[in-house]
Structure 1
Amino acid sequence: MGVWILNFQRRKRFFAFKFICNFIKQTTLSDLQVHPSTQISHEISTHSILCKNLSTGTLGSLFQACIAPTPQFQIFLSERQATSSCILRKQFYSQTLVADKPQYDEYNDNTVKYNPLANELNTICRILSDYRRAHHDLEAALNGCCVKLSEDLVEQVLKRCCNLWLSAYRFFVWAGKQPGYNHSGESCTVMVDILGKVRQFDTIWDLLIKMNNQGLPIPRKIFTIVVKRYARAQLAQEAIHAFRRMRDFGCEPVIEDFNALLSALCKNKLVSHAHEIYDEVGVTFPSDMRTYNILIKSWGEIGDGAQALRVFHEMAERNCEPDIAIYNTLLESLCQVGQLEDAYQILDLMKVKGPIPNISTYSIFIHAHCEADQADEALKVLSRMKRYGLVPDVEIYNALIFRFCMMDKVDDAYRLLDEMFYKGVKPDVCTYNTLQRVHCKHRQVKRAMRLLVRMDDDGCKPDDYTYNILIKMLINVGCFDRALEVWNGMEGRGFYPSVTTYTTLIHGFCKRLKYEEAQKYFEEMIDEGIPPYPCTCVLLKKLLLSARKKLIVQVLADKMRKSTSRSIQELSKMMKQKSNKKSGQSKVKMAKEMGSSKAMRIQEK
């Protein structure tokens, strides 16, 4: 059976899934005894291979078949079958939206573990999803589910239903009232994070006050979450007030909490508020390197290099010796605002007093010169690195290659690429994509194809951007055979086309009026369960109608309507033809505008 599925064509995978489901339903005791080699429980590798190539809707159906087998098959659900079900569950969740994806790590990288709380978890999450409205009687539904609560179960439910904040909060309150159960610190932290995402701050404080009155310990992490959520909502004063209220709940603030407050404010562009609270209570806490790092970086991000230098000199006044991280942060802040002279003075100071500049230090200058279109100055910094025995990393080379490509100095970029191999630095896909973009921009077909071959020789796998720009260029220049050659070689390189890759190919064929090829790969896209973009449906439909292929449009619409993906089913409405009545009316309207005797005859008919 495994060999049979492996040899199946890609466009027939749905029928392979249907065969497995029928096999599960029709298997009886005698069949398992006569043909033990055909048991589904022994075909775990087949399940794994099949799951990688099925759509989300198909995986959902097969997942339900595995966790709820037929009565004849249930007694034979061995441990290996449970493992097979976990494979399906893992692949199913990997393709669903974040709202449906569990946020906890249920699986190990090497072995697939079965979750003993899977049935209870699925039951409660289904109830929370069905009773998500405020007028729904969620508590009555939970009382009837007869599930034994545990700290682990409640945490997993909250993490999975993090986007259903009202249902999650009502479940949290209901669980706290159940006899024999008390909320853990982790479950309270998750609940506060869920409420903070939707800015239900009053509910958060009510929950914290209730926990404090009951004598429950409040984790310090909760206040860090509250401060971050306030800062993200641009409520600086409320974030500072939450930090000050920590003592009211039995949490004495420490330097880590103060740094978390400063970091939250600075990351959300509330730098002035961060420095006000620092000037006010900074003396209370012995500032460490992270404190100064946050302040210096924040001034650089808003373009005030003078303030960054002021904080740096303030460190020396407080007898706090800056480390290499502080120096690099200061240099980056100065380079961001264009104060390269001040940055070089700091670099000279480092050479005299220490610490010794590292790769990150020189990388800051190289990126600054590249962004300022000063490739020659960037090469001088690179030469200085080599004199001090420092080997540039791939990011430094990528910045230089990108700048040379922007200046159309492709030969210099290739010399840097060769130097990377000589220095033992392995190029990544960004390195090759930068060069490939230049070749595609100038329609250099041979050089682009040679670069793709070089990627194979160097062991670098192309990504969707590589294929998109290459296929688009080949179709635009009319090299359809080479475009299909690149397309057919994707699977051999371990890449499976995404919706953007399909869109690039189909739109290219449509613009070149190749409706047969566009139709072929559109159908393949539907068979793979990949919902196309609405503009793709409109473009293909317009091309087919202009070629008088109305029947093909109807066939595609019916095929989309029968798909297992709901998104594709909704898009099938866009592929349906307009009625003949409207078409006739438009012809009459055009004829009237002509104002001829022929127009009158058309109107009479």
Structure 2
Amino acid sequence: MATTAEKPRSAASTVPVKHSQRSNSKIPPAPRTQSFPSYHDNANIAPSVKILCEIIFKVSVPELEAALTRTGIPLLPEYVEGVLKFCYGSPAAAVKFFRWAGLTKKHTPYSWNLMVDILGKNQLFEEMWDAIRSMKQEGVLSIATFVSAFGSYCNANKISEAVMTFDVMDRYGIQPDIVTVNSLLSAICREDNQTPKALEFFERIKGKIAPDGDTFAILLEGWEKEGNVAKAKTTFGEMVIRVGWSPQNMSAYDAFLTTLVRGAQADEAIKFLLVMKGKNCLPGMKFFSNALDILIRQKDHSHAVALWDIMVGSGLVPNLIMYNAIIGLLCDNNDINNAFRYLDNMVFHGAFPDSLSYNMIFQCLIKNKKVREAARFFFEMTKNEWPPTHSNCAAAIKLFFDCDDPESAIEVWSYMITNHVSPVDESSNALLVGLCDLGRMKEVRRFAEDMLDSRNNIYESTMAKLKSGFYKEGRSASYFYDQFARRWKDHYSLKK
């Protein structure tokens, strides 16, 4: 094996997998980026392993063997394996250490697999195959070894070489099975925009090795990542024909349905969900939560309601965050009836409304000029001790004056003052203007003086409105306004 290295691209984990389930086969859990594990970061590292690592990373490669020999540390298999796990960033030193350690004791299959993985992740493919051939001679080859090669080739965007590695496994005495097929498919699909190549391999191999649910789950997750709705439908259709329906295939169903929802085909997703419900294969809360997030971003409230009803009707219990999310979507789409329905149903699922729940609905009522409903809802939310926001209070005061319900407007203002809802500037000006428009100047006078005493900010536009209203009332009222305006100017200059 050569001792020089190119700069590594990544160091992905290469355990042969069933979908979403790691095998017990030993193979290094190296990361998919160039952030290699360091022995400095591992608090549980054995003292002997730490000493060996310090030598490997501080001593030059030509002097490494002598320095290692001087330590006198017994080369237990776990020490060798422990050192190799931290050598992904230094393949030349790893090779030197591996050869030196092999002079004393035969390497374990795990150590060999670590070495193959280090070489592959550093794109030293000729050296990687030298190691694989040596492993064959030693009789320690396993599926994990080839899965490591799959991942390394795919990381390097050498998909055809990864497939070639699969094709030659039997020459090395390893018969490929469905776990091996799935491992290669997974390695290909992890790379961006490579699922078509995974499908090409699948089409070629499915007649020889029968696919299982994991096979289709891997492909469907690939189509989900690439957003290919048409291919996802085709793959899903073949899955149903070949492996039927089973709750064990939930990850495949999740990926397929998410692809449909993200691809703006929520109506198709709803249809499939109803079929799956009849087959006892309905996805779990994770899918519904993710799908709702997507529909909310798409502002698709009608499909969100349909999805929600299937979810709740199947016994799944949404939380407060999910309730607030859909109530917000419904309010944004002015679907106030459904918003009220969800608000009323929350308590049955142990998700009690909070300030956000109430304020979204209150805002929607105001926006849609539902005067009576807004007044009743204001009473309900304050009775339940969830205060309206200052902006909702200001909007409500304007609405109540515009729609001939001044008493409700005054009630909102009084609530703000009593319960210290702030800031109050927008609301106070809305109150003064509304009363002035109704000619209720005695109340304007009382509220205006209180506001000035409380150092509220009365706008210039509001003062102009008050001047017109008071001057219409005659000399006494105009005199009050002039006095008030002087106080206002003094107050305004102090604030500046």
Range into which the TM-score falls when normalised by the shorter chain: 0.5 to 0.7
State the identity as a percent.
29
Q: How much has 1:371 moved relative to structure 2?
A: 2.2
Paired residue secondary structure (2:315): coil
Cα gap change, 1:122/1:349 in structure 2, threshold over 3 Å: closer, same or farther?
Answer: closer
The residue type equivalent to 1:300 in the other structure is: E
CA contact (8 A) 2:223 2:229 kept: yes
**Cα shift readout 1:560-592 (whole Å, capped 9, x = no counterpart):** xxxxxxxxxxxxxxxxxxxxxxxxxxxxxxxxx
- Corresponding residue for 1:347? 273
- Corresponding residue for 1:35? none
- Corresponding residue for 1:378? 304
Aligned with 2:195 (options 236, 257, 271): 271
Aligned with 2:56 (options 118, 122, 128): 128
Cα gap change, 1:190/1:417 in structure 2, threshold over 3 Å: closer, same or farther?
Answer: farther
Q: How much has 1:407 moved relative to structure 2?
A: 9.7
CA contact (8 A) 1:331 1:364 kept: no
Q: Does 1:194 align with 2:118?
A: yes
CA distance in 1, matches of 2:41, 2:116: 16
CA contact (8 A) 1:104 1:156 kept: no
- Corresponding residue for 2:488? none
- Corresponding residue for 1:140? 66
Aligned with 2:108 (options 184, 208, 213): 184
- Corresponding residue for 1:287? 211
Which 10-residue stretch deviates more, 416-425 or 348-357?
416-425
Q: How much has 1:424 moved relative to structure 2?
A: 4.2
CA distance in 2, matches of 1:270, 1:402: 38
CA contact (8 A) 1:223 1:243 kept: yes
**Cα shift readout 1:120-152 (whole Å, capped 9, x = no counterpart):** 2232111111124x5x42112222222211101
Cα gap change, 1:358/1:406 in structure 2, threshold over 3 Å: closer, same or farther?
Answer: same
- Corresponding residue for 2:231? 307
CA contact (8 A) 2:266 2:303 kept: no
Q: How much has 1:191 moved relative to structure 2?
A: 2.1
CA distance in 2, matches of 1:287, 1:357: 22
> Structure 2-normalised TM-score?
0.56
1:50-449, aligned counterparts within 5 Å?
99-101=37-39, 106=44, 117-118=46-47, 120-132=48-60, 134=61, 136-178=62-104, 181-213=105-137, 215-268=138-191, 269-318=193-242, 320-321=244-245, 323=247, 325=250, 326-356=252-282, 358-360=284-286, 362-375=288-301, 377-392=303-318, 396=322, 400=326, 423-424=349-350
The residue type equivalent to 2:267 in the other structure is: E
The residue type equivalent to 1:187 in the other structure is: S
CA distance in 2, matches of 1:241, 1:425: 55
Paired residue secondary structure (1:156): helix
CA distance in 2, matches of 1:369, 1:246: 45
Q: How much has 1:420 moved relative to structure 2?
A: 7.2
CA contact (8 A) 1:103 1:160 kept: no
CA distance in 2, matches of 1:171, 1:190: 12
RMSD: 4.0
The residue type equivalent to 2:79 in the other structure is: L
Q: How much has 1:256 moved relative to structure 2?
A: 0.5
Paired residue secondary structure (1:392): coil
CA distance in 2, matches of 1:158, 1:406: 57
When the two structures are aligned, how many residues end up with a matched partner? Answer: 321
CA contact (8 A) 1:197 1:229 kept: yes
Q: How much has 1:172 moved relative to structure 2?
A: 0.9
The residue type equivalent to 1:202 in the other structure is: E
Cα gap change, 1:315/1:342 in structure 2, threshold over 3 Å: closer, same or farther?
Answer: same
CA distance in 2, matches of 1:417, 1:194: 56
Paired residue secondary structure (1:137): helix
CA contact (8 A) 1:102 1:160 kept: no
CA distance in 2, matches of 1:332, 1:284: 30
Which 10-residue stretch deviates more, 136-145 or 417-426?
417-426
The residue type equivalent to 1:330 in the other structure is: F
CA contact (8 A) 2:188 2:195 kept: yes
CA contact (8 A) 1:305 1:333 kept: yes
Higher-Rg structure is 2
Q: How much has 1:260 moved relative to structure 2?
A: 0.7
Cα gap change, 1:206/1:416 in structure 2, threshold over 3 Å: closer, same or farther?
Answer: farther
1:529-568, aligned counterparts within 5 Å?
none
Q: How much has 1:274 moved relative to structure 2?
A: 0.8
Q: How much has 1:239 moved relative to structure 2?
A: 0.7
Paired residue secondary structure (1:160): coil
| Higher relative contact order, structure no. (Cα contacts within 8 Å, ≥ 6 residues apart) | 2
The residue type equivalent to 1:245 in the other structure is: V
Cα gap change, 1:201/1:398 in structure 2, threshold over 3 Å: closer, same or farther?
Answer: farther
**Cα shift readout 1:468-517 (whole Å, capped 9, x = no counterpart):** xxxxxxxxxxxxxxxxxxxxxxxxxxxxxxxxxxxxxxxxxxxxxxxxxx
CA distance in 2, matches of 1:401, 1:206: 62
Paired residue secondary structure (2:85): helix
Q: How much has 1:206 moved relative to structure 2?
A: 1.0
Cα gap change, 1:241/1:131 in structure 2, threshold over 3 Å: closer, same or farther?
Answer: same
CA distance in 2, matches of 1:222, 1:424: 51
Give 5+ residue unaligned stretches, structure 2: 1-34, 361-387, 391-496
Q: How much has 1:369 moved relative to structure 2?
A: 1.2
**Cα shift readout 1:196-234 (whole Å, capped 9, x = no counterpart):** 322222211111112222x23113212112111211221
Q: How much has 1:382 moved relative to structure 2?
A: 2.4
Paired residue secondary structure (1:287): coil
Q: How much has 1:176 moved relative to structure 2?
A: 0.9
Q: How much has 1:422 moved relative to structure 2?
A: 6.9
**Cα shift readout 1:511-551 (whole Å, capped 9, x = no counterpart):** xxxxxxxxxxxxxxxxxxxxxxxxxxxxxxxxxxxxxxxxx
The residue type equivalent to 2:128 in the other structure is: I
Q: How much has 1:341 moved relative to structure 2?
A: 2.5
Give 5+ residue unaligned stretches, structure 1: 1-96, 107-114, 436-445, 449-605
CA distance in 2, matches of 1:350, 1:202: 49
The residue type equivalent to 1:233 in the other structure is: A
